[in-house]
Amino acid sequence: MTDTSTLSRGGGHSSTPGRRRAPRRARASGLPAWSIPYVLLIPGLLVIGALLLWPLIQMVIISFQKVGLVQISGKKPATWLGLENYTNVLDNDIFWSSLRNTVVFAAVAVPLTLVLGTAVGVLLHRLGKKMSLFVIIGIMFAWAVPPVAQGVIWRWLFDAEAGVINWALNLLPDWLSSALFGRADWTGQPWLNDAWSIYMVLIICVVWASFPFIAVSVLAGLKGIPAELYEAARVDGSGPWRTFRKITFPLLKPVFAVLTVLSIIWDFKVFAQLYVLAGTSNREAYNLSMYAVTEAFKAPPKMGSGAAIAVVLTVILLIVTAAYIRQMFKQEEV
C-alpha cells in the first residue's frame, strides 16, 4: 500500500532534470511552463487516488464506526462510535502481543534479509558469467514462489511427525545432537505450536523468499561501480572488507536505502505465510495483520475494530518509513 507513495516521491525526484527542457515544449502546447510536471502527474495521481487513497479513507472512516454484517448488507446504517474501536483494541492483550510479534519479527527479518542478500549479491558479482546466471536462476525460484506456497513448503518441512527437519535432526549422531541442542530425540517436536518457534520458522521462510530480490538488486548496483575504483583500492593495499566498507557500501547507499524501506514495509505486513504456518487458532502467534483479519472477518465480523487495527499498522509503517527516509536524506546532505 504505502510502497506506491515511494513511487510518487521517486518519480517526482527523477523528473527534476527534465524541467530545464520544459519551456520549449510548453510554448508548443500552450500550457504555462510551471504546470507541465503537475499535468504529467495527474494520470498517476488519479490511479493512486482511486485504488489506494479512496479505500484508505474508507478504512479510516470505518475504524470509527460500528460495521458488521448487518451494516455491510445495508439493513442498518453504520453507527458512529468515536474512538470506541480504538480503545477496545488497545485494551486487548492480543493487540499488544501482536504488536510485539510484528515489531520483533521485522527487526530480525529485515537485517537478516539485507545481510544475506548483500552477501549473495557480492558473491554473484565475483562469480563467472555462467555460474552467476545459474545461481541467479536458482535463487529467483525461491523469490517467485507465491506467499501461500512458501507457507505450505515450510509448514511441511517443519511438520512435527512427517517433517523433514525432525527427520534430519534425528539423523544427526546422538552425541552431536546432544552437544548442540541438549537432546537426541526430535520425534514429534512441535515447531508450529509455540509463538517463538512459529516465528523462527516464519523468519526462515520470509528471509528465504526475499533475499534473492536483494541479491539481484545489489548485483545490479555493483555492475555500475567503475572497476578503476577497485583497482585503485587494490593498489593502495586495501583488503576485501575495507574495500567493501569504503567503496562498495558508500556507492550503493541509495540502493540499500530503497531496499531497506521496501523490506521494512514487506516484513511489517507479512500475512499469508503466517496464516498458513500457524492458522488462526493460536492467538499468541498473531501479528497485527492477522489480528486485523480475525477481528474483521471471523464470526461475528467486527469490521470497525479490524479497520482500527489496520489504521494503527498503517500509521506505524508511515512513521517508520518517514523516519528512515528523513534520516537517509539528512545523511546525503552531509
Partner 1 sequence: MRIAKITAATVTTAALAVGLAACGSGEAPSSSPSAAASSAGGPKYAGKTLTFWRLGDSNPDAKAYTDELVAEFEKQTGAKVKVEWIPWPQVNDKFTAAAAGGAGPDVTEIGNDQVPLWQSQEALEPITDIVAGGDQAQIPKNLMGLETIDGETYAVPWGGGSRAVLYRADWFKELKIEVPKTWDELVAAAKKIQKAKGSDVDGFAFNGGSDANHLLGALAWTAGGEYAVKEGDKWVGKLTEPGFKEGFAQYTGLVTDGLSSKARLNQNTTEIRTRFSNNKVGMYLTASWDLATIEEESKGKIKGDKIAFFPLPSKAGGEAQSFLGGNDIAVWGTSEQKEAAKDFVKLASGKQWGVKYATDGGLLPVYPDALAALADDPAQAPFAAAFAKAKAFPADPQWTEANETKAVLQNAARQVIEGKATADEALAAANKELEDILNAS
Given a contact cutoff of 8 angstroms between Cβ atoms, the answer to whether 278 and 289 are in contact is no
Supply the DSSP string of 24-38, one letter for each residue: HHHHHHT--GGGHHH
Nearer to partner 1, 32 or 254 (CB): 254
Given a contact cutoff of 8 angstroms between Cβ atoms, the answer to whether 205 and 150 are in contact is yes
Nearer to partner 1, 11 or 239 (CB): 11
State in angstroms the smallest separation of the CB of 235 from partner 1: 22
CA distance 60 to 70: 19
- Judged by CB under 8 A, the residue of 51, 107, 176, 323 near partner 1 is 51
Interaction residues for partner 1, span 282-311 (CB under 8 A): 282-284, 294, 297-301
Interaction residues for partner 1, span 242-271 (CB under 8 A): 251-255, 257-259, 262
CA distance 113 to 115: 6
State in angstroms the smallest separation of the CB of 75 from partner 1: 5
Grid cell, residue 167, equals 527427520
Contact string (CB under 8 A) for partner 1, positions 186-205, x = contact = -xxxx--xx-----------
- Judged by CB under 8 A, the residue of 137, 235, 241, 281 near partner 1 is 281
Nearer to partner 1, 106 or 259 (CB): 259
Nearer to partner 1, 91 or 235 (CB): 91
Nearer to partner 1, 102 or 248 (CB): 248
Smallest CA-to-CA distance from 194 within 113, 101, 272, 313 is with 101
Asked, as a colleague might, if the bond just before 300 is cis with ω within 30 of 0, I would say yes
Nearer to partner 1, 10 or 138 (CB): 10
Q: Binding segment for partner 1 among 6-14, 24-32, 106-114, 174-182 (CB under 8 A)?
A: 6-14
303: region left, alpha or beta (phi > 0 left; psi from -120 to 50 alpha) = alpha
- CB neighbours of residue 151 within 10 Å: 24
Nearer to partner 1, 29 or 185 (CB): 185
Nearer to partner 1, 176 or 322 (CB): 322
Query: DSSP alpha helices (H): ranges in the chain?
Result: 3-14, 22-29, 36-48, 54-62, 69-72, 84-91, 93-126, 129-144, 147-157, 164-171, 174-181, 195-223, 227-235, 240-243, 249-268, 272-278, 288-297, 303-333
State in angstroms the smallest separation of the CB of 30 from partner 1: 31
CA distance 301 to 63: 13
CA distance 311 to 292: 10
Interaction residues for partner 1, span 148-177 (CB under 8 A): 160-161
Contact string (CB under 8 A) for partner 1, positions 203-242, x = contact = ----------x---x--xx--xx-----------------
Handedness of CA 12, 18, 20, 24 (dihedral sign): negative
The total number of residues written for the chain in this structure: 334
Long-range contacts of 130-135, Cβ-Cβ distance < 8 Å, separation of 24 or more? 132/219
State in angstroms the smallest separation of the CB of 7 from partner 1: 5
Contact string (CB under 8 A) for partner 1, positions 94-133, x = contact = x---------------------------------------
Footprint of partner 1 on this chain (CB under 8 A)?
3-4, 6-7, 10, 14, 51, 68-70, 72-73, 75, 94, 160-161, 187-190, 193-194, 213, 217, 220-221, 224-225, 251-255, 257-259, 262, 279, 281-284, 294, 297-301
